[in-house]
Amino acid sequence: MFLQNLVNGIFVGAMYGLTASGLSLIFGVLNIVNFAHGEFIMIGMYITYFAGALLGVNPILSVLISVPVMLILGVLVERFLINRIINSSDMAQIFLTVGLGLVLSNLALIFIGGNYYSVRVGYATESLKLGSLLIGKASFLTFIVTVITFIVVSMMLKYTFIGKAIRATSQDRTTAQLMGVNTGFIYTVAFGLGMVLVAISAALLTIMFPVYPNIGNHFVVICFVIVVLGGLGSLPGALVGGVIVGVIEILCGYYFSMGWKDVVPFLVLIICLLVRPQGIFGTRT
């Protein structure tokens, strides 16, 4: 059973890593911790749900709808809100993103209601048998999509001009400006790309979790643990941190009481902060 739980933890953790990747990317480039990240996940999940309920669109294919919607939303939020406090104090950034999150969750509660909505897909209850392992088709599918997404984004950041500009701005915005990079435009692109990652992860989460106005509170806590554990601003760190959290969560839920699965990741986080405060892939500043 250990191997079975280990595989389950890796699959769940990879999805968690994708969920946290948008938060990590935005911090790495804009140097802003987006406390409204959970509410953006909630919006992406609602888009996926309504695409299925009203249009009959499969959750995976719903990204064709949710990605452009979340991209536009991200660009608007960055241009009209985040851009105004990009050089402000940390407290101003916290107040803005926390306030934005509260507004979004309460708007969802007002206009949609507090009911729990779930997407029903046939493969959600089906499994693949690989030797002695049973792998849920939904988990396997989300893992494949997660890996492909990480590969595509990593290749884009490494080889494209816009990707190199994003990495340059992340490493030293002043030097990037001196080299002719329009950092204001890069901030918008990075925030929009972060929302694209949110849209993809939200579509996968909707397969396995119900959506309701406060669902973001659950995921944003996991995301913060992951990005601090993996290293703020590091996409590989988000993936590795997600896998660590996922494995710990599944193993603790199986070998101990279910209550421990929510406690142990924070214990690991505390140990990481004491031993390596910059995270696994982070660098000291």
Q: pLDDT per residue over 166-212, tens digit each?
A: 999 998 888 998 888 999 999 999 999 999 999 999 999 999 899 99
Residue showing tokens 């934005």 = 100
Least confident of 48-52, 240-244, 258-262: 258-262
Q: Give the residue-averaged pLDDT of 75-92.
A: 92
- Write the pLDDT tens digit of every residue in 93-144: 999 999 999 999 999 999 999 999 998 887 777 888 887 888 888 889 999 9
Count Cβ neighbours within 10 Å for each residue of 122-147 and write b for 16 or more, e otherwise.
eebeeeeeeeeeebbbbbbbbbebbe
In the structure, what pLDDT confidence band is assigned to residue 154 with cuts at 50, 70 and 90? very high
pTM: 0.94
Residue 285 pLDDT greater than 70, yes or no: no
Asked if residue 245 belongs to a domain, the reply is no
In a domain, 231, yes or no: no
Q: What share of the chain has pLDDT > 70, as a percent? A: 99
- Number of domain units in the chain: 1
Does residue 249 lie in a domain region?
no
Positive or negative, the CA dihedral 259, 120, 66, 169 is positive
Give the structural domain span for 91: 1-214
Helix axes 137-159, 2-30, angle to 10 degrees: 30
